[in-house]
Structure 1
Amino acid sequence: MIGKLKGTLDEIAEDHCVVDVHGVGYVAYCPARTLSKLPGIGEAVVLYIETYVREDMIRLYGFGSALEREWFRLLQNNVPGVGAKVALAVLSTLTASELANAVALRDIAMVARAPGVGKKVAERIVTELRDKAPAYTGESAAAMGLKQELGEGVAPAPVADAVSALVNLGYSRDVAATAIAAALKTAGDGADSAKLIRAGLKELAR
């Protein structure tokens, strides 16, 4: 099985590229985002590969990072009705972090932006991956849980106010939520918004 290709970029097409490795050209089907970030023809390139072997074909799927490849596997192995085509469409539309946030916040509309992914499929994706996504986000389970609570409108008022305050200071919602999730560990669940804001700012200053 091929897990990684390191060679020279030989060709870029609409849905795939060709990587020359010691004179052998490997065709790798990639998300649009991956293709858009490839270097110029003739330059060195590295792709993380998922190999599909069937009776009638062998197909390689290429990704710019191991995390993208894991999401590709996760989508197909855990969501009924999602195959390679839909998984590529999702990863062409959303970055790995955007997909992780959409799953955590149950943002069906964001996932449904992918071509060929309707509301029902998007809902199935966020539902089936809800408990599996944290391992692929690089974030703590606490941060993922808080983002989910914020998305569902059930986060405690002091927590929601603290996140809102950091957002008003110019931080993104995701960064603010991650900081407040970390702050909760030191400040405690009973902390008021002012204490959480101070603790959150300390986390951001690290």
Structure 2
Amino acid sequence: MIGKLKGLVEALEDDSVLIDVNGVCYVAHCSGRTLGNLPSIGEATELFIETYVREDQLKLFGFGTQAEKQWFLLLMTVQGVGAKVALAILSTLSVSEISSSIALQDKAMVGRAPGVGPKVAQRIVTELKGKVPALGALDPGVQGLQEAIGEGVATSNVADAVSALINLGYSQMQASGALAKIVAKEGDDVSTEKLIRMGLKELSS
């Protein structure tokens, strides 16, 4: 089983890369995000590999990080998510954005990926709740607050501050991430107004 490829970029396609490993060329299918981070043709690179074996095909899927590979495997445990859809999600969202989407139960964020309808997006955020890969996890404080918001159990001042920041044009992930850092330093008994001011300062820094 191939776990990693280290070699030279031979060619780039829309959804794959050809890597020359000591004269043997391997085709690895990748997310758009991974392909975009690869070096130029002729330069050295390495990818973590997942081998996909079926009766009628054998494919290699390449990932720039172990976290991305773990998310690929985890996403495919959800009914209706195959390799193509998993790569589409990884092309659209970073691993931290996927973690946030699940913590916040934000199916709309997941649904931004091509091929992910409302039902599949709902299954993803529901079935993967609490299963964030260790290498793809957010800061524990950020994740903890986001889970509290997603479950509707965050303190009212924090929840109100997040809502206010969203109304000002920030995403739920940006707002909750900024406030998580503030709560970690100041505690959760800060007034809503002060949280909003501090949140805006954090988001503009």
Q: Aligning the two structures, in what range does the TM-score lie when normalised by the shorter sequence? A: 0.7 to 0.9
> 2:64 is aligned with what amino acid?
G
Distance (whole Å) between structure 2 residues aligned to residue 195 and residue 115 of structure 1:
39
> 2:120 is aligned with what amino acid?
V
Number of aligned positions between the proteins: 203
Deviation at 1:141, TM superposition (A): 4.3
Question: Could you say which residue in structure 2 is the equivalent of 1:107?
Answer: 106
Deviations 1:131-154 (A, max 9, x none): 102634332444223113334654
Question: Could you say which residue in structure 1 is the equivalent of 2:33?
Answer: 33
Mapping 1:1-206, distance limit 5 Å? 1-77=1-77, 79-133=78-132, 135-151=134-150, 154-160=153-159, 174=173, 177-178=176-177, 180-181=179-180
Distance (whole Å) between structure 2 residues aligned to residue 123 and residue 40 of structure 1:
38
Q: Closer, same or farther in 2 for the Cα pair 1:38/1:54, shift >3 Å? A: same
Deviations 1:50-90 (A, max 9, x none): 1122333321001111111110011113x122111111111
| TM-score, L = length of structure 2 | 0.79
Query: Does the Cα contact within 8 Å between 2:71 and 2:133 map onto a contact in 1?
Result: no
Deviations 1:85-121 (A, max 9, x none): 1111111111111111111111111111111110000
Query: Does the Cα contact within 8 Å between 1:75 and 1:82 map onto a contact in 2?
Result: yes
SS state at 1:102 partner = helix
Percent identical among aligned pairs is 56
Distance (whole Å) between structure 1 residues aligned to residue 87 and residue 194 of structure 2:
43
| TM-score, L = length of structure 1 | 0.79
**Is there any run of 5+ residues in structure 1 with no aligned partner, and where?**
none
Q: Closer, same or farther in 2 for the Cα pair 1:17/1:116, shift >3 Å? A: same
Distance (whole Å) between structure 2 residues aligned to residue 124 and residue 164 of structure 1:
25
> 2:123 is aligned with what amino acid?
R
SS state at 1:70 partner = helix
Distance (whole Å) between structure 2 residues aligned to residue 182 and residue 123 of structure 1:
28
